[in-house]
Amino acid sequence: MTNEPSADSVVGCPVGASSDFGDETVTSHHFGEEGAKLTYGSYLRLEQLLTAQVLESDPPAHDELLFITIHQVYELWFKQLLHEVDAATEAMFGGRLWWAKHLLKRVATIEDVLIRQIAVLETMTPQDFLVFRELLSPASGFQSAQFRELEFASGAKDPTYLKRFRGLTDAEQKRLAERLEAPSLWDGFVHAVAQSGLPAGTEDELRDSLVEVARDRDGHGELWELSEALLDHDEAAALWRARHVTMVERQIGTKSGTGGSTGAPYLRSRLGLHYFPLLWELRSFL
Ligand code: HEM
Ligand SMILES: N[C@@H](CC(=O)c1ccccc1NC=O)C(=O)O
């Protein structure tokens, strides 16, 4: 005997299918290849996802699972952010400014989550981190290819990073090199400014055009809103860097990093980075 309802008792259920629910709650079913039923776990590839947390410490340090989980969640969101940033850039080149703005709002919302989740990692004490910290060397967040791709795709293209990375895979190197050549969010925005009929051939022209956009929002409302959405992304990235370095100081003080940098001083040297410096400069001219 089985507890599952028979196929013909399930509303909307194809012949031969069975349900995890009673008659009233089931309305339809989906099938994968060869009639195999798609399940929650198979759709989300949970077997791969949930077996990818492999600790370096042995015996296992209690907090290392948290450390790995947080970083893996970051990389999943980085992948999503790149997907949205690429689409937003394409939308600006294609004249679909409302869509670019819509996607950039999503980007900033995800970045908000990335900033707030640092607090979860801060529930780890420095003593508990030290149980497994040495095992991580010479690995470091510095080697996150997707993080650097996001910087490049946003417009902060520092080619020296390509040479400074140790241990990137060939595929990661290739992706980064391609990103250096590909149009960035900023390139997309400059294109949109030019398409609206405003001068955008030189930095000076662009500066004047941005002031014009800001002063005439009735005439240039869509561009203004787009520039604000870009600034939200830029600001969120800056807030993440600041939040990360305060966490780093709390965890390792003035120690140098596992990646070989000076640690907090290196990270502080990056706090002035802006993806869209002209949008920040503009504030001084209004
Ligand atoms: C206990 C927690 C953490 C500590 C102590 C820490 C420490 C550091 C240090 C010292 C550096 C400088 C590179 C080095 O020499 O190692 C660095 C860079 C970096 N970390 Fe972390 N980190 C922590 C958590 C995270 C998390 C959760 C992420 C999320 C992905 C992350 C992403 C990065 C990135 C992207 C860089 C490169 C930043 C840049 O070049 O501007 N870190 N981290
Ligand atoms: N760089 C950190 C270690 C660390 O946080 C880390 C190590 C391996 C992989 C990712 C890391 N996250 C950010 O740097 C440290 O020096 O303590």
Q: Which residues of the chain have pLDDT under 50?
A: 1-13, 15-16
> Residue 54: CB partners within 8 Å, gap ≥ 6?
68
Give a three-class secondary structure readout of 124-165. Answer: CCHHHHHHHHHHHCCCCHHHCHHHHHHHHHHCCCCCHHHHHC
In this structure, the number of other CB atoms found within 10 A of the CB of residue 105 comes to 16
Taking the C-alpha atoms of residue 48 and residue 42, their distance in angstroms, rounded to an integer, is 10
Closest ligand 2 atom, CA of 263? 16
- For the Cβ of 143 lying below 6 angstroms from any atom of ligand 1, the answer is no
As beta bridge partners, residue 241 has none
Integer Cα distance of 151 and 88 in angstroms: 15
Ligand 1, atom 19: closest residue by C-alpha:
141
Identify the pLDDT of residue 13: 47
Binding region for substrate = 67-71, 133, 258
Tokens of 49: 């996802």
pLDDT at 1: 36
Residue 148, Cβ neighbours under 10 Å: how many?
Answer: 24
Helix count and strand count (H, E) for the chain:
14, 0
CB 260 near ligand 2, within 6 Å: no
* Phi, psi of 232, deg, nearest 5: -55, -45
Separation of alpha carbons 165 and 173, rounded Å: 9
Contacts of 30 (CB under 8 A, 6+ apart): 37, 38
- Ligand 1 centroid, distance to 179 Cα (angstroms): 22
Residue linked to tokens 């830029």: 234
**Ligand 1 center to residue 44 CA distance, Å?**
28
- CA separation for the pair 275, 219 (Å, rounded): 26
- For residue 159, cis peptide bond before it (omega within 30 degrees of 0): no
Q: How far is the CA of 190 from the centre of ligand 1 (A)?
A: 32
What is the rounded CA–CA span in Å between residue 52 and residue 50? Answer: 6
165 lines ligand 1 (CB under 6 A): no
CA 111 to chain centre: 7
Quote the CA–CA distance of 229 and 108 in Å, as a whole number.
Answer: 8
Residue to mutate, 54, 140, 147, 166, ligand 2, most ligand atoms under 8 Å from C-beta: 140
155 lines ligand 2 (CB under 6 A): no
Which pLDDT score is estimated for 167?
87
User: How far is it, in rounded angstroms, from Cα 14 to Cα 11?
Assistant: 9
Q: Which residue has the tokens 């990661």?
A: 172
116 lines ligand 1 (CB under 6 A): no
Q: Which residues contact 105 (CB under 8 A, 6 or more apart)?
A: 229, 232
**What pLDDT, on a 0 to 100 scale, did the predictor assign at position 36?**
80
Prediction pTM value: 0.92
pLDDT of res. 24:
64
